[in-house]
A and B are shown apart, each in its own frame.
Chain A
């Protein structure tokens, strides 16, 4: 290593040390889950007493819960005693240059059009790339703090904004919510915290991508976003680059709170390891995401593009509590090879004249199984509530499946609820038409699929949308024929 490089590395290591693991040695908890492990996690993080108490309540409740079994996915039982629940994040293995990166991964980087510097950063290669992102992150933080926006890791928030965390943690997804969320509440490792004060329009899109030290938040991530009265924020989660992770089970929780007149837009692109072409390996992504439109005229919008993971189990939902509040869910879920997805949303209408929109596009290829599961619930108090659901499935080939389970519970006569659904196949004639015009079959398929997803892509922030389109094309490679 050259002197300059070693200096840089020293610098980055230092930065790293001063993160949330400051005074702890690198180590791991013993395998398995117990009250001691929960206490250990909390102690390692120097957490206040109330948070430990909350974790313990969650843990004890978890012991009483049964594994959910209603979802339309199949996997062997999860051995919760075979998981390590705490590992101090380690710096990624440093590679000398990109030649050491898995060629398959590099090929995908190239197809996605990710710049060399970015490729290096993502695969943990060159040190200067890391420095680069540190400086970007710093300028970024300055700009945010000027307007009073707090954007930091969850651990930092617990340390520095304890009262805010205490007030809102578990207020949307209680620790008793479901077995995966309860597990997360007991053992969550880290995540993001974001607070937009009253009347502030967040000056930039917030992205986990810029948050340093976010790379290794582990399998139990926790995100909390609060938008005060009339605040606005757009949050981007994930990136289109492939993510490999040795942890098989991921159980994250995301909570959003929008006060009066506030608006939160949450966009996700998920491209975790889906397992190999035969369905071996791959991540189980069991996520609980929910937002609460607590104030009148508030708005929460979820947009997701899910192409990765062996199993996706996720229902980003909105509780429409404030009058005239708006909930939206736009989703593209793609399952290829042996991937399974059971995903959808819940729109819970409580306030008057609340409005929700659901647009779900499921694409199945290979042996993929894609399920839309959605609940629209109109409470007694929700006079004038409206919902429109559009749920489309596209099948590629004859071995895949698409399933739709819409649930509706309407308890107010003035409500209007609409559901539209369609299932289509990319037919030979469509392909032939494109090919006759000179477009290769593979390009034609990705064009048709992207067209199918247009209603969702147009909800994504611009650059994200472009990346998502490319991602979809790459994910579909080899699915034709």
Chain B
């Protein structure tokens, strides 16, 4: 489904990704772990289409050149990014925002738009997945949400938009254990045939709840090791120090 080859990203002359190779098949869950500043978030932003980077290399998504597409075209093609820091949009109702997004994607696919009533029914059903209170629907997008509520809202959006490839950028950070379980249950419910998930995380804790098929370690802009679930457990014991030494120079967090 996703084929990343020698992907490099620079910002203001600084190299952040330095030759990523990664292949993800439909139905798989991959976890990318790594220390702060290793390029994890940059990778997710590059895949979703943030255009502040100088790029080289290639990314094929279902045979299409992903890097040539605009962010909205990528969304329509099935790419979803759960943001590390979900953005607030004052005055725009959460439900309205989601329906606009949902219908924009449907429209691009040549499907008929869904009306407000049907959409409300859909939203109510999917909301249960992340145990969200219906009052969130009428509130402005992420405005005044707690950290945990924002992350749940991201998973809820994912449940509505049903992407084929979801990137979850540190969705676990800032969550207490109960919220983590809720978010993980939501993601697990969406896991399955046809849908690939890329989990970006700092801690192995999340992987206790969402068990990945593959684990990769990212350090200084490169994937330095790949393995299965056992790798995550090993990392928890040894830390990232060993991998960081392999890089040529430390990088600041972006």
Binding site for B on A (CB under 8 A): 428-430, 432-441, 443, 447-448, 450-455
Interface string of B84-122 (1 = CB under 8 A from A): 001101111000011011101100100000000000000
Does chain A have a CB within 8 A of B129? no
Please name 19 pairs of A and B residues whose Cβ atoms are closer than 8 Å in the assembled complex, sorted by A.
A430-B87, A432-B49, A432-B71, A435-B70, A435-B72, A435-B75, A436-B49, A437-B97, A438-B75, A438-B102, A438-B161, A439-B72, A440-B72, A447-B92, A448-B89, A450-B92, A451-B92, A451-B140, A452-B90
Cβ of A428 and Cβ of B52 under 8 Å apart?
yes
Report the Cα distance A429→B81, complex, angstroms.
13
CB-contact partner of A437 in B70, B101, B108, B140, under 8 A: B101
A214 to chain B, nearest CB (A): 34
How big is chain B's contact interface, by range? 20 to 34
Cβ of B71 and Cβ of A436 under 8 Å apart?
yes
Please name 14 further chain A to chain B contacts, defined as beta carbons within 8 Å, in addition to the given A430-B89, A433-B83, A448-B92, sorted by A numbering. Answer: A434-B97, A434-B101, A435-B72, A437-B98, A437-B101, A437-B157, A438-B72, A438-B76, A438-B108, A439-B101, A440-B104, A441-B72, A447-B89, A455-B91
Cβ of B89 and Cβ of A436 under 8 Å apart?
no
Cβ of B91 and Cβ of A450 under 8 Å apart?
yes
Interface string of B147-158 (1 = CB under 8 A from A): 000000000010
Report the Cα distance A458→B70, complex, angstroms.
34
B157 to chain A, nearest CB (A): 7
- Which residues on B sit within 8 Å (CB–CB) of A432? 48-50, 71
Q: A440-B72, A443-B100, A443-B104 are in contact. Are A435 and B91 (CB under 8 A)?
A: no
Which chain B residues (135-164) contact chain A, with CB distance < 8 Å? 140, 157, 161
Report the Cα distance A22→B190, complex, angstroms.
75
B85 to chain A, nearest CB (A): 8
- Which residues on B sit within 8 Å (CB–CB) of A453? 91
**Most chain A Cβ neighbours within 10 Å, of B70, B76, B83, B90:** B90
Binding site for A on B (CB under 8 A): 48-50, 52, 70-72, 74-76, 80-81, 83, 86-87, 89-92, 97-98, 100-102, 104-105, 108, 140, 157, 161
A220 to chain B, nearest CB (A): 37
Q: A439-B104, A443-B104 are in contact. Are A433 and B87 (CB under 8 A)?
A: yes
Report the Cα distance A452→B143, complex, angstroms.
12
Report the Cα distance A66→B91, complex, angstroms.
43
Cβ of B71 and Cβ of A435 under 8 Å apart?
yes
Cβ of B161 and Cβ of A437 under 8 Å apart?
yes
A290 to chain B, nearest CB (A): 29
Residue of A nearest to B106 (CB): A438
A31 to chain B, nearest CB (A): 48
Report the Cα distance A437→B157, complex, angstroms.
9
- Which residues on B sit within 8 Å (CB–CB) of A455? 91
Report the Cα distance A439→B101, complex, angstroms.
5
Report the Cα distance A432→B50, complex, angstroms.
7
Residue of B nearest to A426 (CB): B89
Report the Cα distance A439→B98, complex, angstroms.
10
Report the Cα distance A450→B92, complex, angstroms.
8
Cβ of A435 and Cβ of B49 under 8 Å apart?
yes
Cβ of B100 and Cβ of A451 under 8 Å apart?
no
- Which residues on B sit within 8 Å (CB–CB) of A433? 83, 86-87, 89
Report the Cα distance A433→B140, complex, angstroms.
14
Residue of B nearest to A427 (CB): B87
Report the Cα distance A447→B91, complex, angstroms.
9
- Which residues on B sit within 8 Å (CB–CB) of A438? 72, 75-76, 101-102, 104-105, 108, 161
